[in-house]
Every structure is written in C-alpha cells, then in structure tokens.
C-alpha cells in the first residue's frame, strides 16, 4: 500500500517530475506491506450507479482509504485509486499528500491534492478560528 510518501511530497519535486504521461512517477512513491481492512460495496439491485462494485482498502495506522478499485456492470476492473499519505508530526495529523485515479479503459489518470508547487499550509494560523466559519463569515469570504 502507499505509505509514508515523504519523498513524493518534497517541495523540490516539480509537477513535471511527478506526473508522467501514463502514471505517477513510481520512483517517488513508497509502498509498504501493511495490514488493511477491505470494505466491499455493491449496488443494490433496485438502484443504479456508475460502478457496480467497489473495494476500499483502509490502512490501519492512519485509518483512511489508501486504495480503492471500481468495477463496471460486467464485473471488470475499471478504475483504481491511490492516496499517498504521510504523517504531519507538527500538527499532528495523518493526511494525504496527493491522490491519483487511473481509468484503465481510457488509459488516462487524474490527480488531486498535490501541493508541491504551492505555498505550505499553516495549520496553526490565527484565521482558522471558529468565527471564520459562521454563515456570515463564509459569505464575506466568497468570491463572485
């Protein structure tokens, strides 16, 4: 399973170093043998969904989904997802440093939450008080 992805999250890696034409640069990803809980979800017969079945793999240390697989209505594997996590000891928090969803039929992938070329988050910032999240404060923060 993907785990402790500190190398992938290093700010010295540019997006062009990480995102290759068909997949994430596997030289930057760290995989570990880890105990996982597998959840399987199937669509009820009276309902419809884009996926007929999904499997989620929860890594026991961080308790978040590190991998998932999605199957089409024929039962064939269609998409796989990986979330690359690490521990932020200074917060403390286990969170992802990025995610990738691979569409095996189309031969493409989508990435999310990579921050390598973005300014770092300040989890202890004064503006993260409860007053910031009232309905009036959210309206003031909105951009049109």
CB 88 within 8 A of CB 5: no
Tokens of 51: 């996926």
Residue 26 has pLDDT above 90, yes or no: yes
* CB half-sphere exposure, 83, CA atoms < 13 A: 18
* 13 assigned to some structural domain: yes
For the chain, the domain total comes to 1
Residue 38 has pLDDT above 80, yes or no: yes
The top-scoring range by mean pLDDT among 15-19, 60-64, 85-89 is 15-19
Residue 124 has pLDDT above 80, yes or no: no
CB 32 within 8 A of CB 1: yes
* 51 assigned to some structural domain: yes
* 144 assigned to some structural domain: no
Q: pLDDT tens, 66-101? A: 999 999 999 999 999 999 988 888 878 888 899 999
* 46 assigned to some structural domain: yes
SS (H, E, C) 99-143: EEEEECCCCEEEEECCCCCCCCCCCCCHHHCHHHHCHHHHHHHCC
What integer pLDDT is reported at residue 144 of this predicted model? 64
Position 12 confidence tier, pLDDT thresholds 50, 70, 90: confident
What range defines the domain where residue 62 resides?
6-118
Q: Are strands 36-42 and 53-59 parallel, antiparallel or unpaired?
A: antiparallel
Tokens of 117: 């070329």
* 56 assigned to some structural domain: yes
Tokens of 116: 């390598």
* 124 assigned to some structural domain: no
* 28 assigned to some structural domain: yes
* 77 assigned to some structural domain: yes
Burial of residue 5 (number of CB atoms within 10 Å: 0-12, 13-18, 19+)? buried
Cα–chain-centroid distance for residue 132?
Answer: 26
């Amino acid at each position: 399973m993907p785990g402790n992805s500190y190398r992938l999250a290093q700010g010295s890696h540019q997006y062009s170093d990480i995102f290759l034409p068909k997949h994430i640069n596997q030289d930057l990803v760290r995989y570990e043998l880890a105990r996982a809980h597998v959840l399987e979800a199937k669509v009820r017969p009276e309902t419809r969904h884009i996926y007929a079945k999904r499997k989620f793999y929860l890594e026991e240390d961080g308790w978040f989904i590190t991998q998932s697989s999605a199957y089409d209505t024929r039962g064939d594997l269609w998409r796989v997802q990986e979330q690359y996590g690490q521990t932020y000891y200074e917060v403390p928090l286990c969170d992802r440093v990025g995610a990738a969803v691979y569409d095996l039929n189309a031969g493409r992938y989508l990435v999310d939450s990579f921050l390598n070329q973005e300014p770092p988050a300040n989890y202890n910032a004064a503006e993260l008080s409860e007053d910031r999240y009232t309905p009036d404060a959210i309206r003031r923060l909105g951009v049109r």
